[in-house]
Each structure stands twice: as structure tokens, then as C-alpha cells.
Structure 1
Amino acid sequence: MNSSILSTEPQKTTLLIRFMVGFYFLAGGVLKFSYPELQETGFFQNLGFISANATVTVISVLEVLCGLMIIVGFFTRIAVIPLILIVSFTVLIGKFPILFEEGFWLMAHISRIDFAMFLGCVFLFITGSGYWSVDWKMLPKEI
């Protein structure tokens, strides 16, 4: 196993960022399964996706799976990559047009949670999952 993927700083406070990011995406994925009206398949149909339902299902599964992985700190660096892509796509396609229609401040307001989750994911990608994590437990310890 490549220990560079698992390597992490021994910071205990990283747990707070993991919980914030992990629960956000876990809740988003679970809600898409629990409340089909939240799936926004029309958004993907308007973008030209052939199977909007399949696209939303894949995104929901990724959000749940990666959210759980981040919460427990299991391959955190790998888990944040699809979430960074999801958030980037959401902002570029769904929120960025607001900049030209309504202006910067409304777009900034509407995108603030996406921006926070993006930065949280980038932070976890850089630092790893921290001391209280499965990744830390799996790291080979020096004797």
C-alpha cells in the first residue's frame, strides 16, 4: 500500500474539518435518495445528459460513499477528489452564470457553502485525515 496516500499530519483538529465536509456530502447524498424531488434531474437534462437519472444516482452514491470515507478518515485524499470535481462542476455550471446575470455579490452569497466545502476538500487533500483516522492507524509506524 502506498503510504504517501495515507500520510497525514498528526493534528487532532483535522477531525473537525473532516466532520464538516463529510457530513455535508453524506447528508446531500442521502437526501437525494430520500426525496426524489431534490434530485434536480431537469438540470442535467437541460445540460444535454442522456440519462439524467443515472447521473444523479452516480453523484448521490459518490457523495454518500466519499462522505462516509472522509468522516472515518479512510483514504481521505482519494475521497475528496470526486467531491472537488462535483463542487467545481456545480459552481461553474450552476452558480457562475449568476455572476453575469445578477452580479458578483449575489453569486458569492449563493456559492458560499460550495466555496467552503471546496476549501475544506482542498485542505483535506493537502493535509490528509489527521490523527484520529483510519489512515493514521494504517500508517506504518517507525520503531
Structure 2
Amino acid sequence: MSNMKLPAPDPAPGLPESFFDRIGGHETFGRLVELFYQGVAADPILNPMYPERDFGPAKERLQLFLEQYWGGPTTYSERRGHPRLRMRHQPYHVNPEARDHWLACMRAAVEALALAPADEAILWDYLERAAHSLINTFEPTPPVPGGNAE
């Protein structure tokens, strides 16, 4: 018996290609998340939300969520259940300032992907709406412990 790998089957005739597949699948979403977290690592508002400074688990969760949302594998739900985004973000101080920083980091990541303009617009529309929906306070961002607050 041969160990020859068979090619992946073509999508079923008549079924539309998913957005996930159209923009490059796992590789594209992995790049998006990697670029996004590079921005987060340098961001004075977002970085302190990760006190252990280990972005690995957060990267994996975001990538799995986005892949599932856009028609990729359902691994996120299999591992974590329903996304419940608002509930999962409730412990974090997500005010308009944090939202704006998140959007700035995500905007840079999305632009770096150089997607087709229509695909970029679709992706950005969702990300922007999601960011607005996660605001859970209008209180100012608290000072970072050990920071330069006066």
C-alpha cells in the first residue's frame, strides 16, 4: 500500500466557496492574528490586559474563533463551546479607548494581508462591529500598576 497523499477534493459542485477558503484559510487567519498581536504587544492600553505576557493562548483562541466564524473548522466550539464574546470579555476593561486601540492594531494587521478590496471590506466590517459590541464600560482606562501615572 502506498503512502501517497491524495489531493484534497474539489468543493462540492454548486456550493459557494466559504470566505475562509476564499481569503486563504488557516494560513491567512494565522498571519492576521500574528500581526495583530505584534501590535498588541507594543500597545500601552492593550498589552497590560495580558498580565502573564503570554499571548500564545489568546492567539490560538482568536484564530480558532475567526476561522470558525468565517466558515473554517469548528474547532473553537468543539474546545470552548459557544463563543459568548460579551461574556468572555466582561472581566476586561473594554472602554472606547481600548476599542480604538484594538481596532488600530487590527486595522494594521488586516491591511498587511493585502486582501482583495471587497474581501477586506467584508472582514473589516465584521471586526469593527464586533469591537463596538464588546464595550462594557465608559470609565477611563485605569493606570497601569508600576506605570508612569502621575
TM-score normalized by structure 1?
0.34
Normalized per residue, which structure has more helix?
1
Larger radius of gyration: 2
- Higher relative CO (Cα under 8 Å, sequence separation at least 6) belongs to 1
